[in-house]
């Protein structure tokens, strides 16, 4: 039989994690914190942002959507450019929700247009002049990129 008078659930504290490992993790955390602090305080530019190339084409569009995923896109004159049903407009509706959230956070005009921009290097992006928010659309897949590229090319 086993001796149950000294039932142990945990190992002794000094055997759980080697002290050298705890010190190494703390050193890593402090080094990361120091690097982030230095980068923030020195005002370094964000290096993962693509360079702003020359704007080749630009169009002001109005986005509107509902909770179902349906979305509508209007041009600057209020003419309908696209009317996406719930099963096709999810990405456009998602962009509309993000723009709305960013504008609400900064108390900007939620009814203002966004700019659809084509830059050098075939880079298509959405830019919100009200909040300076932007998104490079190539990062969201070819189908979503094509959806907005068609909107840029419509008369």
CA separation (Å) from 3 to 6, 7, 10, 11, 155? 7, 8, 16, 17, 86
Is residue 8 in some structural domain? no
User: Quick one: 27 and 59 in the same domain?
Assistant: no
Q: Are residue 82 and residue 131 in the same domain, yes or no?
A: yes
22 domain-assigned: yes
Residue 49 CA to residue 138 CA, distance in Å, equals 13
Number of compact structural domains in the chain:
2
User: Distance between CA 122 and CA 149 in Å, rounded?
Assistant: 10
Q: How far is CA 130 from the centre of its chain?
A: 17
What are the tokens at 80? 């309908």
Evaluated on CA atoms 105, 106, 108, 111, the torsion sign reads: negative
What's the pLDDT at 103?
92
Q: What is the pLDDT of residue 138?
A: 84
**Angular region, 25: left φ>0, alpha ψ -120 to 50, beta rest:** alpha
Does this model's pTM top 0.75? no
Q: What is the pLDDT of residue 32?
A: 97
Are 80 and 107 contained in the same domain?
A: yes
Strands 71-75 and 80-84: antiparallel
Whose CA is closest to 89, among 81, 77, 79?
Answer: 81
Asked if 32 and 94 sit in the same domain, the reply is no
State both tokens at 105: 């956070």
DSSP state letter for 89 = -
Residue 4 belongs to a domain: no
Q: Provide the domain limits for residue 66.
A: 55-153
Same domain, 62 and 106: yes
pLDDT along the chain (155 residues), means of 10: 60 71 96 93 76 84 87 89 87 90 90 90 88 87 86 72
In this prediction, residue 13 carries a pLDDT of: 59
Determine, yes or no, domain membership for 1: no
CA distances for 153 relative to 19, 92, 117, 139, angstroms: 63, 16, 11, 20
- Please tell me the predicted confidence (pLDDT) of residue 38: 92
Provide the pLDDT for residue 50.
Answer: 66
* Residue 48: predicted pLDDT: 67
């Amino acid at each position: 039989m086993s001796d149950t008078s000294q039932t142990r659930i945990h190992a002794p504290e000094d055997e759980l994690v080697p002290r050298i490992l705890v010190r190494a993790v703390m050193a890593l955390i402090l080094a990361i914190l120091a690097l982030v602090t230095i980068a923030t305080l020195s005002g370094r530019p964000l290096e993962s942002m693509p360079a702003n190339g020359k704007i080749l084409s630009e169009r002001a569009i109005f986005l509107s959507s509902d909770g179902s995923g349906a979305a509508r896109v209007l041009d600057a004159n209020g003419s309908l450019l696209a009317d996406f049903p719930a099963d096709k407009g999810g990405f456009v509706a998602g962009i509309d929700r993000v723009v709305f959230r960013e504008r609400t956070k900064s108390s900007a005009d939620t009814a203002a247009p966004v700019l659809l921009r084509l830059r050098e290097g075939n880079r298509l992006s959405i830019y919100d002049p009200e909040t300076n928010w932007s998104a490079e659309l190539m990062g969201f897949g070819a189908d979503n990129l094509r959806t907005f590229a068609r909107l840029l090319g419509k008369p």
